Amino acid sequence: MGTLVPGIPGFPDRAVITEVGPRDGLQSEPVFVSTPEKIALIQSLLDAGLRHFEVTSFVSPRAVPQMRDAAEVLSAFRDRKDAHLTALVPNMRGAEAAIEAGVDAMVLFASASESHNLKNVNRSRAQSLRGFADIAKLAEGTGVKLQGAIATAFGCPFEGEVDVQAVVDLACAYVDLGMDYITLGDTTGMATPALVIQRVQALRHLRGEAALALHFHNTRGVGLACVYAGLSQGVTHYESSIGGLGGCPFVPRATGNVATEDLVYLMEESGVSTGASLDLLIEAAKLAERVVGRELPGQVMKAGPRLAAASMDSVRTANG
Amino acid sequence: MGTLVPGIPGFPDRAVITEVGPRDGLQSEPVFVSTPEKIALIQSLLDAGLRHFEVTSFVSPRAVPQMRDAAEVLSAFRDRKDAHLTALVPNMRGAEAAIEAGVDAMVLFASASESHNLKNVNRSRAQSLRGFADIAKLAEGTGVKLQGAIATAFGCPFEGEVDVQAVVDLACAYVDLGMDYITLGDTTGMATPALVIQRVQALRHLRGEAALALHFHNTRGVGLACVYAGLSQGVTHYESSIGGLGGCPFVPRATGNVATEDLVYLMEESGVSTGASLDLLIEAAKLAERVVGRELPGQVMKAGPRLAAASMDSVRTANG
């Protein structure tokens, strides 16, 4: 697919997708997913052509029981030299475990808004950054890289609007710590295309120093419109979750992460190569649905690729 | 809202939304909705600031029982001179009834693909156009306008890809019949942003002769990304369905029309004025949910406006 698709002016030719379902997705799911099921899910995503994964998080097993098998899940894929494996790390203890487990990179996170950082990790942003400096020292010489995630980058559930300067300041602090990959996280689904364009343009001077990645939730239905805005600005890294695994922490009926297969569908149909097979991603999304035992919000997994319906012989009685 | 929103380069300042939920939406719903419920739903949408409605269709009550009260529903709003009321009309008998009922415009429809037209209305496209010419004669001097909908404008469930020239040919035939409003319908959710751009550009020479409207289904999750593409091309007319009422005729679990409140959210947050109140649209979407007795796919109706969460005090334990 892709060869007959007219490209969209300004869009990049290819994009990198980091699958965050095994971590960000499963962490929000109420059902405990067994270690073999997690491994099977990641394997199905590898088979579908994905190569970048946020595999797990090294957090307290008491606080997040779903992630208690972090080292075991990681070890199943440590020999896949073609795969880039990251894990979320909240503190020094997590960093030690992540390095020991053999991650390629640790994802450190702070919030652009002070209130969210305080509520989320019980520290000020300045305290978070001091902790990251200690982790950076620990990582020195290990070959393990650091990535920085900026939570509430498009709005805060406590403060409302977040000043773009707070996002820029945190991104600059991340670069100073040696991070070469920075994700803007849409923690509670407050991103809009206009905010995406504004933030990407404000961070343009960091290009060359760090790759910029975008991570959207579809909480208000505009997740893929935000991706479209990011692509129009030349952003080439995106994070998503197979089937749309995960949810919005604040809104019971709302969906969470943008679904990986819907993202790939949008990109490939826009002339942006992802290296992934849509058919195999749909299979992986169905596996994810079985694993968590609920209907997931991904759309393409239900409708199939564009031309999948071309042999159906039922019709409706009027136009639509 | 909207005043502090940075606009998006190339987007229009304002857009017109035609609400098609009462017709396209309800027609696909299995539950029969009573006449007072339909009237209450339309009234709530008027209260929310919408002014363009596809109210009903004048079809055979045997074929489409949901629309058997077409004249009664229309008559409830005939005195609203600030509202533009249209109805779908499949044939001469429907046209007579629609004119009698006092519509502002009749929506006539044919498919860009011959197979779909044959299966949908049991006529060739050429036969459909001859029928439209007869209806055009009937409408002469009545003050009732004609609008043209092009079904399968972005792909056909039987033929697959639809040549853009087939869309242009049908649009030109509509203009020749005196239609000054042409909708490209994404009947089975096959539209993509690249196809939207291609088709809008191919129809650019019709601007001035006819307004171009876009009607997307969110079957594959890219409905609002397609709207984004349309806005980037300066298209100012869109059709949507409150709450995402309606479904995809071919795919049981897939969603149908783009939800009006999600569309308004995207537009207002992109600096495009719609004249509608998002809060009141959310109330209307909740009414629509009660009326059809099932959860609707609209997202903003569940999550609320962007800043609605700003006073919540629950948090999750890690970033997202």
Q: Among residues B250, B108, B106, B265, which one has the least CA distance to residue B187?
A: B250
Average confidence (pLDDT) over A65-75: 96
pLDDT of A7 strictly over 50: yes
Specify the number of domains making up chain A.
1
Cα–Cα distance between B269 and B240 in angstroms, integer?
17
Average confidence (pLDDT) over B134-162: 97
What is the DSSP secondary structure assignment for residue B249, as one 8-state letter? S
- CA count, 13 A, side-chain hemisphere, B283: 13
Q: Among residues A50, A108, A55, which one has the least CA distance to residue A86?
A: A55
* Domain containing residue B280: CATH number: 3.20.20.70
Size of the A and B interface in Cβ pairs below 8 Å: 253
Average confidence (pLDDT) over A25-37: 92
Residue B11 falls within a domain, yes or no? no
- Supply φ then ψ for residue A184, to 5 degrees: -90, 115
**Selected residues 175-194 of chain B with any CB under 8 Å from a CB in chain A:** 185, 187-190, 192-194
Average confidence (pLDDT) over B8-27: 95
Residue B2 falls within a domain, yes or no? no
Residue with tokens 């060359």: A208
Residue in chain B nearest A116 by alpha carbon? B315
The mean pLDDT of chain A is 92
Residues of B with Cβ-Cβ distance to A25 under 8 angstroms: none
Cα–Cα distance between B199 and B177 in angstroms, integer?
21
- Terminal Cα-to-Cα distance of chain B (whole angstroms): 27
Domain range enclosing A227? 16-307
- Supply φ then ψ for residue B182, to 5 degrees: -125, 125
pLDDT digits (tens, 9 = 90+) for B168-207: 999 999 999 999 999 999 988 999 999 999 999 999 999 8
Cα–Cα distance between B17 and B241 in angstroms, integer?
10
Structure tokens, A200 = 């990407």
pLDDT digits (tens, 9 = 90+) for A205-260: 998 899 999 999 999 999 999 999 999 999 999 999 999 998 765 566 667 899 99
pLDDT of A1 strictly over 70: no
SS (H, E, C) chain A: CCCCCCCCCCCCCECEEEECHHHHHHHCCCCCCCHHHHHHHHHHHHHCCCCEEEEEECCCCCCCHHHCCHHHHHHCCCCCCCCEEEEECCCHHHHHHHHHHCCCEEEEEEECCHHHHHHHHCCCHHHHHHHHHHHHHHHCCCCCEEEEEEECCCCECCCECCCHHHHHHHHHHHHHCCCCEEEEECCCCCCCHHHHHHHHHHCHHHCCCCEEEEECECCCCCHHHHHHHHHHCCCCEEEEEHHHCCECCCCCCCECECEHHHHHHHHHCCCCECCCCHHHHHHHHHHHHHHHCCCCCCCHHHHCCHHHHHHCCCCCCCCC
Q: Quick one: pLDDT band at residue A313, thresholds 50, 70, 90?
A: very low
Residue A8 falls within a domain, yes or no? no
Residue A136 falls within a domain, yes or no? yes
**Selected residues 257-316 of chain B with any CB under 8 Å from a CB in chain A:** 257, 259, 262, 265-266, 269-271, 295, 298-300, 302-304, 306-307, 309-316
pLDDT of B319 strictly over 70: no
Interface test with chain B among A218, A233, A301, A316, by most B beta carbons within 10 Å: A316
pLDDT digits (tens, 9 = 90+) for A251-274: 666 678 999 999 999 999 999 999
ipTM of predicted complex: 0.94
Angle B224-B229-B234 (CA atoms, 0-180°, nearest 5)? 120
Closest in B188, B271, B299 to A254, CB measured: B299
Q: List C-alpha distances in Å: B245 to B29, B188, B304.
A: 8, 15, 18
Residue B91 falls within a domain, yes or no? yes
Average confidence (pLDDT) over A31-56: 97
Helix axes A193-202, A223-232, angle to 10 degrees: 40
The answer to whether the CB atoms of A221 and B156 lie below 8 A apart is: no
Q: What three-state secondary structure class fits B47?
A: helix
| pLDDT at residue A154, as a whole number | 97
- Beta strand ranges found along B133-263 (DSSP E): 145-151, 181-185, 211-215, 237-240
**Selected residues 131-160 of chain B with any CB under 8 Å from a CB in chain A:** 149, 151, 155-160
Q: Which residues of B20-40 are buried (b: 16+ CB within 10 A; e: fewer)?
A: bbbbbbbbbbeeebeeebbbb
List the beta bridge partners of residue A307.
none
pLDDT digits (tens, 9 = 90+) for B204-225: 999 889 999 999 999 999 999 9
- Supply φ then ψ for residue A151, to 5 degrees: -75, 160
Residue B166 falls within a domain, yes or no? yes
Interface test with chain B among A220, A253, A262, by most B beta carbons within 10 Å: A220
The answer to whether the CB atoms of B111 and A7 lie below 8 A apart is: no
The answer to whether the CB atoms of A64 and B8 lie below 8 A apart is: no
Question: Dihedral of the CA atoms A157, A185, B229, B20 (nearest 10)?
Answer: -40
Give catalytic residue positions of A. Answer: 248
Asked if residues B45 and B19 have their Cβ atoms less than 8 Å apart, the reply is yes
Residue B220 falls within a domain, yes or no? yes
| pLDDT at residue B3, as a whole number | 44
